[in-house]
Amino acid sequence: MKITLIQPSNIVTETQARWLEPFLPVGLGLLAALLRDQGHRVQILDAYTEGWELRGRLAGDMVEVGLAEEEIAAQVRRFQPQVVGFSVPLDTQALRLQTLARWVKAIHPEIYVVCGGAYPSRMVEKVLRLPEVDAVVLGEAEESFPALLRSLEHGGAWDGLAGVAWKDRSGAFAVRPQREPRPGWDALPLPAWDLLPLKHYFQAAGGRRVPLMTSRGCSGSCAYCHTNSLSGEVRRYWPPEALVAQMRQLSGFFGVNEFLFDDDGLLSDPAWMHEVCDRIIADGLKVQWQARGGVDPAAVNEALLGKMRQAGGRELRFHVASGSRRILRQILNMPLDLYQLEKAIDLALAAGFKVSCRFLLGSPTETQEEIYETLNFAWKLRSRGVEEFRFDPGPALGSDATAPASSPDLIIGAAEVEQIQDTAMREFNSRGLVADLTRRMAPGRKPVRTEERFFPTVAPRPRLHPVIPLDDHTAALDIRS
């Protein structure tokens, strides 16, 4: 079958757009490699990365970062897929989901539309209510999505599909429990890097660097994170030999000289990290890497830091979230010891690492006093030598966040939080060391181009364009009872 995998563009406020970081969908690359090995023809459309330099001005102060939906539809029309899969990791990307799906159905009403990723897995019924969406893949897709394709192609038993939700011909929802996470990575191929827009990503990131997945799953229960619900509570690491082989391939074939480890538990297993470093050193790989997903302060020690530096490690990012102990413990459910964090940062700086920290501002019930408590703690870290800071919007935890604030009358609104966030990003990174500012000053980087767009747009109705003849596999798409 011919399959198009799409990462939608990102719709945020103008203020948030200033501090966005590019995001390469390595998970789609892994899924594409798996599907290609099974005989499918696969296309990846990364609207976010390919249109990184574009800013579509929408209503109010909203902007769309990425390709316009008309361009995405044109590329889908040229490829003529039978199945289109949307990967929606972020809530802000879901804002474009329905209109994109509408465009796909306008190209040919028999194209089967599937959604996956963090947002659809959490909002299954909301996504299935969209008339243009046919199915949702829950959690990890490497087994569920190929099984769904086999049922479409060969008319298999739909009741046996685990980890898939779909609509039958009457419109009723059928939701099957999520599959147990794959126990290991050994049977999975390397991501299809040739299908990912690496050239666009290099330009957006300001250098030949790429993100890598090193693990899945998490035993933590932080209130703002959905990793364990998507990938299980047991952390599964990529085998060190396979990870280093992938780094060698990317360095040799694509000229990559820096890797971004985005996993939030990179040091959760120090023995695994030691083995990875030993293999990098033994292979003589002349590369650098950053730990951007968050480092566990409890795992930091001088011996491990020394080994990591020898293996090319240059930057560690700590997820601090808040300087308020009430927010950390009662709202975010983070078992973070701030004193231990300071000691870990001191060790990392002494070992020669550049250190960055990430905070969340505006968590449910957070007061203005607690926000300033966080900013004061961040300033304390800056005085210790931390060079880069990110201040992101706090999570919308809904009714689960019921712990009362000490001063409810000081709880502030989203607009004021965004203003504080923007000011903090500027002030704390005023020395020009923030990644976004570094990329702006990188030589050869294209200037951002703004264009007027409409949202929500009204896509053409089905069959407005000439119907694309699909092959005999299309008949299997009728099996949805």
pLDDT score of 398 more than 60: no
Backbone angles phi, psi at 316, to 5 degrees: -125, 135
Specify the pLDDT at position 196: 95
Q: How far is CA 270 from the centre of its chain?
A: 25
Compute the distance between CA of residue 412 and CA of residue 419 in angstroms, rounded to an integer: 11
In three-state form (DSSP H/G/I as H, E/B as E, the rest C), the secondary structure along 253-291 is: HHCCCEEEECCCCCCCCHHHHHHHHHHHHHHCCCCEEEE
pLDDT score of 4 more than 70: yes
Rounded to the nearest 10°, the torsion over CA 234, 249, 29, 49 is 110
Note the pLDDT tens digit of each residue in 154-185. Answer: 876 677 788 899 887 777 888 887 777 766 66
Cβ neighbors of 129 (< 8 A, separation 6 or more) are: none
Specify the pLDDT at position 360: 92
Q: What is the CATH number of domain 208-441?
A: 3.20.20.70
pLDDT score of 454 more than 70: no
Mean pLDDT of 33-51: 95
pTM here is 0.85
More confident residue, 238 or 379: 379
- pLDDT category of residue 433 using cuts at 50, 70 and 90: very low
Residue spans of the domains in the chain: they are 2-182+455-478, 208-441
- pLDDT category of residue 401 using cuts at 50, 70 and 90: very low
More confident residue, 233 or 270: 270
Helix (H, G, I), strand (E, B) or coil at 388: strand
Specify the pLDDT at position 460: 47
Q: What is the CA radius of gyration of the chain?
A: 23
More confident residue, 465 or 367: 367
Q: Ranked by mean pLDDT, which of 70-74, 186-190, 238-242 comes out on top? A: 70-74
Note the pLDDT tens digit of each residue in 68-122. Answer: 989 999 999 999 999 999 999 988 899 889 899 999 999 999 999 999 998 998 8
> Fold for domain 2-182+455-478?
Rossmann fold (3.40.50)
Question: Of the given ranges (36-45, 314-323, 420-429), which has the lowest mean pLDDT?
Answer: 420-429
- Burial profile 435-447: b = 16 or more Cβ within 10 angstroms, e = fewer: bbbebeeeeeeee
Q: Where are the alpha helices (DSSP H) in 110-214?
A: 118-122, 124-128, 144-154, 198-205
Specify the pLDDT at position 452: 61
Tell me how crowded residue 458 is: count the other CB atoms within 10 A of its CB.
8
Specify the pLDDT at position 456: 45
- pLDDT category of residue 431 using cuts at 50, 70 and 90: low
Summary mean pLDDT of the chain = 83
Helix (H, G, I), strand (E, B) or coil at 467: coil
Specify the pLDDT at position 28: 95
Specify the pLDDT at position 411: 61
